[in-house]
């Protein structure tokens, strides 16, 4: 009888300890999934923000490109005028 009680107590103790381990593993895995999802979401939001905003370098490059296009059009217009054509 004492041996059975000891075995039962040992089984119950082991079961309680394992529940803590299993619960800890589940919580840890859940946190890892949530953390991974947060990183992915953050990356997606960051990429979306980058797609909407322009950096100073991009703005400067765009301005320079527009300036070159305007100058090119002006040269073409001057050539047409020399040939007696309208712009």
pLDDT tens digits, residue range 36-55?
A: 655 655 666 666 766 777 89
- Residue 39 to residue 67: CA distance in whole angstroms: 41
| Band of pLDDT at residue 33, cut at 50, 70 and 90 | low
Chain-wide mean pLDDT for the chain?
78
How far is C-alpha 53 from the chain's CA centre?
15
Q: Residue 87: helix, strand or coil by DSSP?
A: coil
Question: Is the Cβ–Cβ distance between 81 and 87 less than 8 Å?
Answer: yes
- Residue 46 to residue 41: CA distance in whole angstroms: 8
Question: Is the Cβ–Cβ distance between 76 and 70 less than 8 Å?
Answer: no
Domain ranges of the chain: 60-87
| Residue 32 scores a pLDDT above 80 | no
Question: Is the Cβ–Cβ distance between 80 and 86 less than 8 Å?
Answer: yes
Alpha-helix residue ranges (DSSP H) falling in 1-87: 2-52, 56-82
| Band of pLDDT at residue 8, cut at 50, 70 and 90 | confident
What pLDDT shows up at residue 60?
A: 96
């Amino acid at each position: 009888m004492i041996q059975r009680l000891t075995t039962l107590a040992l089984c119950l103790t082991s079961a309680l300890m394992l529940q803590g381990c299993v619960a800890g593993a589940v919580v840890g895995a859940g946190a890892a999934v949530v953390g991974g999802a947060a990183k992915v979401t953050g990356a997606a939001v960051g990429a979306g923000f980058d797609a909407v905003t322009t950096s100073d370098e991009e703005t400067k490059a765009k301005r320079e490109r527009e300036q070159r296009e305007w100058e090119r059009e002006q040269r073409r217009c001057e050539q047409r005028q020399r040939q007696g054509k309208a712009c």
